Structure 1
Amino acid sequence: MAKIDQLRAALEALQPQHLDVLDESHMHSRGLETHYKAVIVSPVFADLNAVKRHQRVYACLGELMGQVHALALHTYTPQEWAQQGVAPASPTCRGGSA
């Protein structure tokens, strides 16, 4: 199973109402299947600050976290997503030294 599919499957534990997992490795110089962006909308995030939300995601991913170089997380409650409706664009890679 491809890594992106493994990430999606693991994130289903959060019972997302919306889930996008994008492989953004092509925007970076570290090779294939290294950089990902996840947009997760779940009621589990209610009353959690950003750090706690990310910890919930990391707990779901477990050992998969050691297999990726970078994971950009955008976590929303359904109410936040209804207001925002879109996650921010990922920045252009500035390389390892910038």
Structure 2
Amino acid sequence: MSKKEELIQKILAEFEPHFVNVENESHMHSSGRGADSHFKVVVVSQFFEGMNKVSRHRKLYQLFEADLQNGIHALALHLYTPEEWKNAGEEFPHSPNCLGHGQ
């Protein structure tokens, strides 16, 4: 199972999401940290109802604590309730290339 699939399985088990998407964006970064080091995570779940952004992020960082200690360098987290996702137009956030990418 790939690291991306592992992350998705953890999210599915913990948050019972309405929608989940995990993208491996390691190729967009020049950190030299490897192929499974940078991920963009979009999760839409009722679980986030009543939680502020910081609390939502803490939950994901707790879930991925071991992964962050063993290779994952960065997570771009986009966490929504179903209503927030609908109001956002159900669009994926754009991720820019790392400033050092390609240099």
> Given the two structures, how large is their TM-score scaled by the length of structure 1?
0.90
In 1: Cα distance, 2:26 partner to 2:64 partner: 19
Aligned-residue offset at 1:87: 2.9
Higher helix share: 1
Q: Structure 1 residue 19 and structure 2 residue 26: aligned?
A: no
Q: 1:73 aligns with which of 67, 72, 77?
A: 77
Percent identical: 41
- Matched with 1:47 is 50
8 A Cα contact 1:24 1:35, kept in partner: yes
In 1: Cα distance, 2:93 partner to 2:4 partner: 20
Aligned-residue offset at 1:65: 2.1
Q: 1:64 aligns with which of 64, 67, 70?
A: 67
| Number of equivalenced pairs | 96
What residue ranges of structure 2 are gaps of 5+ in the alignment?
Answer: none
What residue ranges of structure 1 are gaps of 5+ in the alignment?
Answer: none
